[in-house]
């Protein structure tokens, strides 16, 4: 089977600054990955390259069977869903959520293509599938932060992506909104038609067991990568953070990490 993505000896430099160095990484079908790293580790740069917004200084990138330099990037981007709080600033906030979700089908900010009631109903059903039926028809501007993030996920799913990137989806959420959104992401991951999931976070407690692979990114380099069970433990994380830590395994199978 074709890999979801493959990085081979990828590096990125800007001027005299080395942002990423010698990244070798493959995501296979049926794998959900979480990228964990502190601020400034290079996570955003890595995501931009996956989405085709940024090219490496060195190395080769292949996403969904398409090698960069030999493929149509806009066409590839339509096969990748992207969820980020930064996108909220670009949306037409006075639109109702149905139209914002539908815009994902056309990979546009706002609706400029012809659409009909069937299209709108498909957008509403996508939201229902995520447990957001009560939000149908509401103005995006009145939603809570957690509800806005759910709308962005529904919007990303409208194009039926093969890869869904979740860029710190819980950023800005309170405890209860975070748990609700994580539960909705978990339900999405259990659907037979789901895309491959790639979530970025710097909070270990947000990495649910559905993310069966983890990449630890530190100062632009891969510190370690592999199965979740092998990496999220005291020995590896102490070395990663270079701090003494304590770990508590929660009932959900997630982990809480704290300075010790």
Q: Please count the other Cβ atoms lying within 10 Å of the Cβ belonging to residue 110.
A: 12
219 in a structural domain = yes
175 in a structural domain = no
pTM: 0.91
Determine contact, residues 25/45, Cβ cutoff 8 Å. no
15 in a structural domain = yes
Query: What per-residue confidence (pLDDT) applies to 103?
Result: 86
126 in a structural domain = no
Determine contact, residues 61/5, Cβ cutoff 8 Å. yes
- Rounded Cα–Cα distance for residues 37 and 87 (Å): 21
Cα 179 to chain centroid, rounded? 17
64 in a structural domain = yes
| CA dihedral for 188, 190, 196, 200, sign (positive or negative) | positive
- Order of strands, sheet of 66-67, starting from the edge strand that comes earlier in the sequence: 17-27, 5-14, 58-63, 66-67
Q: Please count the other Cβ atoms lying within 10 Å of the Cβ belonging to residue 190.
A: 8
8 in a structural domain = yes
Q: What is the pLDDT along the chain (260 residues), one digit of tens a residue?
A: 789 999 999 999 988 899 999 999 999 998 999 999 988 889 999 999 999 999 999 999 999 999 998 999 999 998 999 998 877 777 777 788 988 898 888 876 766 677 778 888 999 999 999 889 999 999 988 999 889 999 999 999 998 999 999 999 998 888 898 999 999 999 999 888 889 999 999 899 999 999 999 999 999 999 999 999 999 999 999 999 999 999 998 888 899 898 88
Query: What per-residue confidence (pLDDT) applies to 111?
Result: 62
| Strand ranges inside the chain, DSSP E | 5-14, 17-27, 33-36, 58-63, 66-67, 80-84, 163-167, 196-201, 213-218, 221-227, 245-249, 255-259
173 in a structural domain = no
Query: What per-residue confidence (pLDDT) applies to 106?
Result: 81
Q: Which two tokens stand for residue 50?
A: 């996956």
Q: DSSP secondary-structure letter at 139?
A: B
Query: What per-residue confidence (pLDDT) applies to 112?
Result: 66
Question: Can you give the residue range of the structural domain that contains 40?
Answer: 1-78+199-260
- Rounded Cα–Cα distance for residues 234 and 246 (Å): 7
Determine contact, residues 115/102, Cβ cutoff 8 Å. yes
Query: What per-residue confidence (pLDDT) applies to 85?
Result: 80
**pLDDT tens per residue, range 138-179:** 998 899 988 999 999 999 999 899 999 999 999 888 889 899
226 in a structural domain = yes
Query: What per-residue confidence (pLDDT) applies to 197?
Result: 96
Domain with residue 16: its CATH number is: 3.40.50.300
Domain count for the chain, please give it: 1
Determine contact, residues 97/130, Cβ cutoff 8 Å. no
Query: From the DSSP assignment, how many helices (H) and strands (E) are in the chain?
Result: 9, 12
Determine contact, residues 228/213, Cβ cutoff 8 Å. yes
Query: What per-residue confidence (pLDDT) applies to 110?
Result: 66
Closest CA to 21 of 5, 41, 3: 41
Query: What per-residue confidence (pLDDT) applies to 104?
Result: 86
Query: What per-residue confidence (pLDDT) applies to 234?
Result: 93
């Amino acid at each position: 089977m074709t890999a979801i993505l493959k990085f081979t000896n990828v590096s990125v430099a800007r001027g005299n600054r080395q942002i990423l160095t010698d990244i070798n990484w493959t995501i296979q079908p049926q794998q959900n990955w979480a990228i964990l790293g502190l601020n400034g580790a290079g996570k955003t740069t890595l995501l931009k390259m996956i989405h085709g917004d940024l090219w490496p200084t060195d190395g080769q990138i292949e996403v969904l069977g398409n090698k960069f330099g030999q493929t149509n990037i806009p066409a590839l981007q339509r096969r990748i869903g992207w969820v980020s709080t930064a996108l909220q600033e670009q949306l037409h906030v006075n639109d109702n959520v149905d139209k914002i979700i539908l815009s994902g089908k056309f990979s546009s900010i706002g609706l400029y293509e012809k659409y009909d009631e069937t299209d709108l109903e498909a957008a509403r059903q996508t939201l229902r599938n995520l447990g957001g039926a009560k939000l149908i028809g509401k103005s995006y501007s009145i939603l809570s932060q957690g509800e806005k993030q759910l709308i962005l996920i529904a919007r990303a799913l409208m194009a039926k992506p093969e890869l869904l990137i979740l860029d710190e989806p819980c950023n800005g959420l309170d405890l209860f909104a975070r748990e609700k959104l994580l539960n909705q992401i978990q339900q999405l991951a259990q659907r037979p038609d789901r895309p491959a999931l790639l979530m970025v976070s710097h909070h270990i407690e947000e990495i649910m067991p559905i993310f069966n692979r983890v990449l630890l990114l530190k100062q632009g380099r891969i510190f370690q990568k592999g199965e979740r069970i092998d990496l999220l433990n005291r020995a590896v994380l102490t070395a990663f953070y270079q701090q003494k830590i304590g770990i508590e395994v929660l009932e959900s199978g997630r982990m809480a990490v704290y300075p010790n």
